Structures are given as structure tokens and as C-alpha cells.
Structure 1
Amino acid sequence: MQTPNERISTRRHRGFWAILVLVITANVGGPSAFADDSVNTGYFGGVAIMGYDPVAYFTEGKAMKGSEKFSYEWLGTPWHFANAKHREMFISEPMRYAPQYGGYCAGEVAFGSVTVNIDPEAFKIIEGKLYLTYDKGGANWFAAHAAEAVSKADNNWPKIAANLERDQYH
């Protein structure tokens, strides 16, 4: 039977090992251990859609820069909004407003690949869903071939997302 001091020492020892395992696990996984790599944050900045407001595409019909002042973290990634109302709309229905394919270029996903570079102003809303592309020409192509492009991209996305999680494309 352990003395009270031995029980305290054992608890501290267990706590130390639990923390050590957590720290090692986080470091082995690298910076993405707690982040969802299937959300495109671009090469710099670490913010979804390069800081553009995903709700504005639907409410304003155009790309609008968001603000850190109206930020919300979803899927381990900060999202910026132009105002508090847009942030609240997103919080209540993020899947309605978030871009398809994690904000990666929809055209590239349709072709089975991915590019981190997107132009937040190159977008199309098709059947109530937001698609971002590399450039405005890509957005026009995607919209002109929407049925085929969306079908292909939807089929390719699970594999691409899994590869992103393994950092194959980063």
C-alpha cells in the first residue's frame, strides 16, 4: 500500500508522461497537427480565402475583404468577415457559405490536382455553392462546363483532401 506522498508522486509522474506524449504527438505532426489542411489559407497569412468574406459573395454578389475584427475560427482556420452580421450568418450555416473544395481552385480539383494560388475575385456561385478559381478565365470555364466540372471535382475532392492531410501538396 502506498503512502499519501507516494500516491501524489505517482499522480505527478503520470501527469508528466501524459503531457510529454501530447507534446511529442503535436511536434511529430508538425504545424498542421491541430489544423485542417483541407482549408486553403494560401502561401502566406494563414487565413481562409486570403481574408475575404465568404458571406459577401452571396449577399453582395462580389468579393469583399474581411477584417480581423470580425474573425471566426472554423475547421482550425480563421475566417474574416466584412461585418458582424456576416460573421453571425457564417457561424449559423458555415457549409452554406464556405467555398467548395476548401477554397482551392475548383478547376484544378476537377482535373484531379490542386493549386494553392487562387484569386478571391475569380469566383462563381453555381446552384447556391461558391467556387473559387485561380483566375477569372478559370471561373468562366468552370461555370461554362459546370455540370461536368462539378461532377469531376466532387469525385476528385475526397482523394485530394486526403492527400492534403498528408501534406503531399504542401
Structure 2
Amino acid sequence: MSLVSPAAYADSPLFHAREGMALSGYDTVSYFNGGHPVPGRSDIAVMWKGAVWQFASQGNREAFEANPRAFAPQFGGYCAYAMSKGRLSSTDPEAWEIVAGKLYLVHSPQIQRLWQQDIAGNIAMAEQNWPDALFD
């Protein structure tokens, strides 16, 4: 467990962002309204929580800006399965699932199959480890 209080990192940039780009440049809104991830465009982007978020359309950008937490991936975009084990791992934007209206990303299609064996249990464990795993 981290000695850092939740208040100390409440507004810290907690999102996994390769080279500053959230979701490797994929449009986070597309997971919800298109049923599959779509690469975003560099000319339709916004900075939020220390990362650049790109979108495939102006409408998706506007939806995100109206309520970013509704579209942002859980556990800062780090692998949900690794987080269930108390570890950090990068993700593959093509390995994902929406559960109860929330976006979860995992490291790879192989890891996704492991995660899917106990989604509810893995989410519960990951929630216990987040965000303390960032500071371990």
C-alpha cells in the first residue's frame, strides 16, 4: 500500500500515455459509439489529465469534453488484468472490453482471454490495487 494519500494524487496525470498519447492515439469515444476502436486524428485532439486524446470526429471530441470520465479507460488505461495482480503493464488498444458502461484495456489478446475467465473478480482486485500500484 502506498503512503501517498489519495488527495495527493487526485489531480495527477494517472493515464498511461505512450509518448504523451492516450490509447496510442485511438479515439476513446469510438469504443462506445462504434463498437470498435478507431484511430483518432491529430487535428482533432484535446489535452486532459496530462495526456493528448485524439478523436476520429469533432462530435466524439465534444462528447469527451462534455464528460471525459465517462469515456476514459479504467485504471488509467493500464492493463486491467495486470492491475488485478497489482502490477502496471501497457495495453493494446485492440484488446478491450466494455463492462457495465466502463472501458477496460488489456495488454494483448492472449491476456484478454485470461482476464475474461473472471472479469468481475479481476475488476474487483484491480480496483483494490488502483491507483496505489502507480506508486509502488
The structure with the largest strand share of the pair is 2
Determine if contact 1:126/1:143 at 8 Å carries over to the other structure: no
3-state SS of 2:94 partner = strand
Q: Which runs of 4+ in 1 moved over 4 A?
A: none
In structure 1, the residue matched to 2:14 is: 38
- Give, in angstroms, the shift of residue 37 of structure 1: 4.2
Distance 1:126 1:140 in 2: 15
In structure 2, the residue matched to 1:159 is: 132
Verify: 1:139 aligned to 2:112, yes or no: yes
Determine if contact 2:75/2:131 at 8 Å carries over to the other structure: no
Distance 2:98 2:123 in 1: 12
Q: Which amino acid aligns with 1:107?
A: Y
TM-score, L = length of structure 1: 0.70
Aligned 1:103-114 pairs, distance under 5 A = 103-114=77-88
CA RMSD of aligned residues (A): 1.5
- Consecutive unaligned residues of structure 2, counting only runs of 5 or more, are 1-10
Distance 1:67 1:144 in 2: 34
- Give, in angstroms, the shift of residue 93 of structure 1: 1.1
The structure with the largest helix share of the pair is 1
Q: Percent identical across equivalent pairs?
A: 34
Distance 1:50 1:36 in 2: 20
Aligned 1:3-152 pairs, distance under 5 A = 36-42=12-18, 45-115=19-89, 117-152=90-125
Q: Which amino acid aligns with 1:148?
A: G
Q: Which amino acid aligns with 2:75?
A: Y
- Consecutive unaligned residues of structure 1, counting only runs of 5 or more, are 1-34
Distance 2:13 2:65 in 1: 20
Q: Which amino acid aligns with 2:51?
A: T
Paired residues in the alignment total 126
